[in-house]
Amino acid sequence: MPWCNAILGARTNLDGCFAAAYVGKIPEYGMHLDENRVGTHLVKVDAKLRRPMDYDLVGFHVGDLVGMDVPVFTGLPTPSVNELIKLNSALNTTGAVWMYHIPGVTPEGPTVEAAFKGEAPTETLHVGWEELKGAYDTLNQTGSTEAVDFVFIGCPHCTLDQLREVSTMLEGRRCRATLWIMTNPWTFRLAEFMGYRATIKQAGGILLSGTCPGLMGCLPPNTEVMATNSAKQGYYIHGLVYPRELGVWYGTTKDCVQAALTGQWRGAWQGGA
């Protein structure tokens, strides 16, 4: 939902569209109203972000602080699609952010002043490497042993570019841990056409579409320790498999591919000025 509101400039709530399809009307509340789309918190990102995981950690940290409010981000370089996907999913994991602004990116927020509609922010938050390290440590607090049984990549579902990246790292190699890679049905077909699925399969991995371990409510048999490149998956999977205890490691896509190939977790914090 934050993708539709913030990046596409659409207006949507978590209520689906069936009522609108049937009666030609939609309830007048939430993100359909101008006043609810105005920025509330100014978030100054002091860390110099350089990879998708950094955006994941920013969203994970900020979502926890703002809840359902509307953060306005400054200090971000122009993010790629994959970086925006990370930010979106994490904001709506620890928080319930339906709308945010990145001046110059968000259609309704060409400037900071426009995002706040001329009003002062209710609070100013600073996000530096210390805050991102704290989020990283939180996501890794259940990693109990370096031996990894299962690696999951693809929450949100992998883009074609991400599948190319993963298949390149797997080419000519063989996994020691179970590897699931998730994408959407349309991209799945493209991955077949491009040969990415065949490369993943030859390495011992499995390309899936349309779901995730959390929604499936299951993990591969005998999984005690899992690795993922998704803050969202790493955060939710504990509750979704409860009362089963599960160790979870979180890191970059490269960290996770290496864990799949070696069966060992070697990821480490690599942030800094």
Task: For tokens 């959407």, name the residue.
Answer: 184
Task: Provide the residue ranges of all domains of the chain, joining segments of one domain with +.
Answer: 2-138, 142-262
Check residue 17 and give its pLDDT: 65
Check residue 269 and give its pLDDT: 95
Domain 142-262: give its CATH superfamily.
Answer: Aconitase, domain 3 (3.30.499.10)
Q: Residue 156: which of 93, 241, 66 has the closest Cα? A: 93
Check residue 143 and give its pLDDT: 83
Cα separation, 52 vs 153, whole angstroms: 13
Check residue 235 and give its pLDDT: 95
Cα separation, 109 vs 72, whole angstroms: 9
The encoded tokens of residue 149 equal: 């049984």
* pLDDT tens, residue order, the chain (273 aa): 899 999 999 999 887 667 778 888 888 899 999 999 999 999 999 999 999 999 999 999 999 999 999 999 999 999 999 999 999 999 999 999 999 999 999 999 999 999 999 999 999 999 999 999 999 999 999 988 999 999 999 999 999 999 999 999 999 999 999 999 999 999 999 999 999 999 999 999 999 999 888 888 789 989 999 999 999 999 999 988 888 889 999 999 999 999 999 999 999 998 865
Neighbours of 246 (CB within 10 A): 18
Which CATH number is 2-138's, of 3.50.30, 3.40.1060, 3.40.50, 3.30.70?
A: 3.40.1060
Check residue 218 and give its pLDDT: 82
Check residue 16 and give its pLDDT: 64
